Amino acid sequence: MKPELRVGVAGLGTVGASMVRQLQKKSNAFAARCGRTVRVAAVSARTRGRDRGIDLADVTWFDDPAALAAAPDIDVFVELIGGDSGPAEDSVRAALAAGKHVVTANKALLARHGVELARLAEDNGVSLSFEAAVAGGIPIVKTMRESMAGNDVSRVYGILNGTCNYILTRMEQDGLDFAACLAEAQRVGYAEADPTFDIEGNDTAHKLAILTSLAFGCEIDVDAIYLEGIASITSADIQAADELGYRIKLLGVAQRTDTGIEQRVHPTMVPKTSAIARIDGVLNAVAIDADVVGEVVLAGPGAGGNATASAVLADVADIARDIRVPVLGQPVAGLAPYKAAGMRMHEGGYYIRLAVYDRPGAFAEIARIMAVESISLESIMQRDRAGAKAGEAGAPQPVTLITYETTEAAVKRALATISAQNVIAGTPQMIRIEKLA
């Protein structure tokens, strides 16, 4: 048997505590699977005294995670502190520089510094593993890095944020508006007191940036991601989507095009019959379109202490088994620079909802502007606004349009022109439709 593997864990929140608990409880089974004993040798956290339901009697305590990272007592450093700088970054760098393998659940850190840290790991001949950083308990990183080795990926997309998916699911199932569902998500602990980071799509973007690199063998560029959150989605959109055979999901999509690689995070209409449409509540799912295998979809819990700990434990097991894979699927020197496809070049169908003034010629004018931009309409849905007073002549009527495939630039131009005429009230709503099998 190989010598014992000594693990140091920095950060003892729900993930860290769960991971330590499982390693202690299952030490024999885990050793049988890994071919060696794996022991939590040292930990670090902000508060020492707290009862976390784990036995730290024989575990060395460090106040400073960076000191733990470089300590001779450990072979693997598990970073569960969080944040793209500060103690998380410092300790990960210290561990890699000291020749320790690193396991992290930190998507922000990787989205910002992934390529640099991958190089540092390579230079020091150690692993940098991050299964837990993308889609929690779903083994998407391993699938991308290892199972897709014979494939060229054309698109990877997914529901990567449980908070947003919970809110959109509740809006659909209970007919509530965004604010009510957000409040409910906060009440049950699925959304933070400040939910900005989730609902504006930043969390999804961090995960997508990592997936993009794994899918296309390119460098990570989180700042290049087109970002649109879910706060603008109304009950009217949810209802119209339902009537048109769609559901609305916040997707992260990375897609190879003729001009580069699209990276976009936005509310998306997906056909009800698609696998991704059926992922409800806080679940996550990731789909991979690839040339040899076709489409593979992985679904499961994207967050939570235990599910995330499961992914961390899988990474630790890989290290214990001496499984070494290039951090981003291939050596850093082989990564291509990220080449963005401009969002205005994006091609797809669009859902457009307008409040059209109820007077002669208004709709004709809209149709004319669409035609000028060569946008063909697949469907037009017009109905009396719920609650509109009978005989309220001239009041705006909701009109929903679905376009055939066109370009983002054409739609943006058309909507700008329409807004400049005196034919609609308020701002047009526009939601991209994702073409799915």
Known catalytic residues are 207
Place of tokens 């010629």: 361
| Angle separating helix axes 162-174 and 178-187, nearest 10 degrees | 120
Using rule CB under 8 A, residue 125 touches a copy of itself = no
Angle at 104 between CA 223 and CA 336, to 5 degrees: 45
Structure tokens at 11: 């950060």
CB of 33 to a copy of itself, least distance (A): 5
- Residue 342 within binding range of a copy of itself, rule CB under 8 A: no
- The CA distance from 375 to 360, in Å, is 22
The answer to whether residue 128 forms part of the interface with a copy of itself (CB under 8 A) is: no
Please say whether the beta carbons of 192 and 198 come within 8 A: yes
Tokens at 278, concatenated: 């059926």
Supply φ then ψ for residue 49, to 5 degrees. Answer: -75, -25
Helix (H, G, I), strand (E, B) or coil at 361: coil
Q: What is the CA radius of gyration of the chain?
A: 24
* Helix, coil or strand: residue 360: coil
Label each residue of 376-434 as H, E or C: CEEEEEECCCCCCCCCCCCCCEEEEEEECCEEHHHHHHHHHHHHHCCCEEEEEEEEEEC
Q: Compare residues 224 and 309 and give the one whose CB is closer to a copy of itself.
A: 309
C-beta of 291 vs 384, nearer to a copy of itself:
291
- Which structure tokens are listed for 361? 């010629």
Minimum distance, C-beta of residue 336 to a copy of itself, in the bound complex (Å): 11
Decide if residue 310 touches a copy of itself (CB under 8 A).
yes
Footprint on residues 257-286 left by a copy of itself (CB under 8 A): 275, 278
Task: Provide the minimum distance between the beta carbon of 93 and a copy of itself in the complex, in angstroms, as a whole number.
Answer: 25
Does residue 170 bind a copy of itself (CB under 8 A)? no
Q: Which is nearer to a copy of itself, 265 or 312 (CB)?
A: 312
Give the nearest distance from C-beta 311 to a copy of itself in angstroms. 8
Residue 324 interacts with a copy of itself (CB under 8 A): yes or no: yes
- With contacts defined by CB under 8 A, how many residues of the chain interact with a copy of itself? 60
Does the protein bind a copy of itself through residue 236 (CB under 8 A)? no
Window 17 to 56, contacts with a copy of itself (CB under 8 A): 18-19, 22-23, 26, 29-30, 32-35
Name the residue with tokens 């308990």.
Answer: 137
What the block records as the tokens of 292 is 């040899």
> Could you say whether residue 149 binds a copy of itself (CB under 8 A)?
yes
Distance of closest approach, residue 317 Cβ to a copy of itself, in angstroms: 3
Cα–Cα distance for residue pair 280/423, rounded to 1 Å: 38
Judged by CB, which is closer to a copy of itself: 214, or 248?
214
Question: Between 267 and 302, whose beta carbon lies closer to a copy of itself?
Answer: 302
Residues that bind a copy of itself (CB under 8 A): 18-19, 22-23, 26, 29-30, 32-35, 131, 137-139, 142-143, 146-152, 217, 275, 278, 290, 292-301, 304, 306-307, 309-314, 316-318, 321-326, 329-331, 334
